[in-house]
Amino acid sequence: MSLGAVYAGGVQLGAYALERRGPKERERLLRECSTNVDNLAAGRWETLLTSALVVEEPMPLPYALLLVAVLGYAEYAYGAWWTAAVFLFGHATATLLVYGALRRTTDPLTRRALDVGTSYGFNSVLGALTSALPRGAVRTTARVGLLALAAAPVVKRGRTFTDAGHLAALGIGIGVSLALDCLSGVKHQKIA
């Protein structure tokens, strides 16, 4: 069984268990794990990890399956440790970029907003996987297309800091992908 499947299954089971808690206990646990501005400003850096382990509600089945597929293919192409490293690096770096942009805000709702979930890590791994595509137009089109899809919510009214975090995480993953492109002789499974 892949590490990605174990991770997604654990997050999903945790979400179901969290639903069974009382509303106050559930809210308290989510707030303790959140990488919101108040937590990071108070030095609660462990939330850079804990926030990737919980979700506010169970993941919809299509998203959960896509998460498993992306993480599973990354494990196949590059290995479990590489996948975990890219996931955690992208998750933490995108979170810190969002925190840096928001840390001076005085809006209490933004400062205390729940910021948990798998999406930053998912976007990072997805972006990094573009290096497994055939070189040339296919790889470039995939990168540009993914960035355009992630940028669309950022330029709309009603955007959230999470939208910017998704774009940042995807950009980080594509940066990893570009670095892989520069490494000659790297052995990994390409998408046929």
45-53 average pLDDT score: 95
- pLDDT per residue over 170-192, tens digit each? 999 999 999 988 885 555 555 65
Which residue's structure tokens are 């959140």? 34
Residue 160 confidence class, pLDDT cut points 50, 70, 90: confident
Q: pTM for the complete prediction? A: 0.90
- pLDDT per residue over 86-112, tens digit each? 999 999 999 999 999 998 888 888 889
Q: At residue 123, does pLDDT exceed 80?
A: yes
Question: What proportion of the chain, given as a percentage, has pLDDT over 90?
Answer: 78
- pLDDT for residue 1: 76
Helices in the chain by DSSP H: which ranges? 3-19, 23-33, 37-41, 47-50, 61-78, 80-102, 108-111, 119-128, 137-155, 161-182
Query: What 3 state SS string does 86-140 have?
Result: HHHHHHHHHHHHHHHHHCCCCCHHHHCCCCCCCHHHHHHHHHHHHHHCCCCHHHH
The mean of the pLDDT values for the chain is 91
- pLDDT for residue 186: 52
